[in-house]
Amino acid sequence: MDRRLALAALASSIALVTACSGGSGAATTSTTASTTASPSSASASASGSGTSSGATSTASTASTPAAAVALPKGHQWLTVPALGTRLAIPTTWKALDVATLRDQKGTPAYAKAAADLGYTETELTSLVSSGAFAIAVGPNTGETAPNLLIRAIGGGTFEDGDQLTSGTRGETGTLDAQSKPQTAVGPGVRGDYHATVDGTVLHGSQLAVTSQGQQDVIAIGAADAATVKKVMDVVVATYSTAP
């Protein structure tokens, strides 16, 4: 597996693991439904290994929207209509039309979309099949392209970054840092980590924000820790209610 495909697979795994860990995800017509399972078994199944304790049964409460958040220089808004939120991503990144791509799968238009992104069709499929509400991809760095996915989880909350990322990290991944940041939408938990995928060390970060009885999960994957940290720091600062 080349590094770019490994990165896409890691990001896809991030979305799938978090979708299962907290119970059933919020459903839309353009999102594949996740099955309800015990958090520990779902995480282990999706990642191939791992010892996640999953989400707690404590229900989250609705948060009060904060004041409008300013768009940082060099960034653009990525709006998530299904969640009523938005976040800032670099202007060099491209937001994907997930619903359209799912409908185009297997067509010449889909092949062209993959080529325009610098992906193979298999790599693009690993992203759009993840069940994410929104996806953005960054420019290639060597043989890699960073990416960001957004999901929502109902039925429980992750207590910290260790618990949030444990299923994706598996038994061989390492948690590098964790925190409990406050966003404009609500309180969050964050975990930054790295893991080896087919011999390649890849870096990731996940942020779970409690909002309106669920947790919105933003997952970022990249080949280097600096990119992951820079992008996620801005996500934490700008994740807010869409106007």
3-state SS, one letter per residue, for 50-118 = CCCCCCECCCCCCCCCCCCCCCCCCEEEEEECCCCEEEEEECCCEEECHHHHHHHCCCHHHHHHHHHHC
State the average pLDDT over residues 179-200.
93
- What is residue 187's DSSP assignment? B
- 29: domain CATH number is 3.40.1000.10
Whether the per-residue pLDDT at 95 is higher than 50: the answer is yes
pLDDT in tens, 114-151: 888 878 898 888 888 888 999 999 987 666 778 999 99
User: What is the per-residue pLDDT for 45?
Assistant: 26
Q: Please give the tally of structural domains in the chain.
A: 1
Question: Please, which residues have CB within 8 angstroms of residue 230's CB and are 6 or more apart in sequence?
Answer: none
Residue of 191, 196, 179 whose CA lies nearest to 218: 191
Confidence of residue 66 (pLDDT cuts 50, 70, 90): low
pTM over 0.85: no
What's the domain range around 46? 3-241
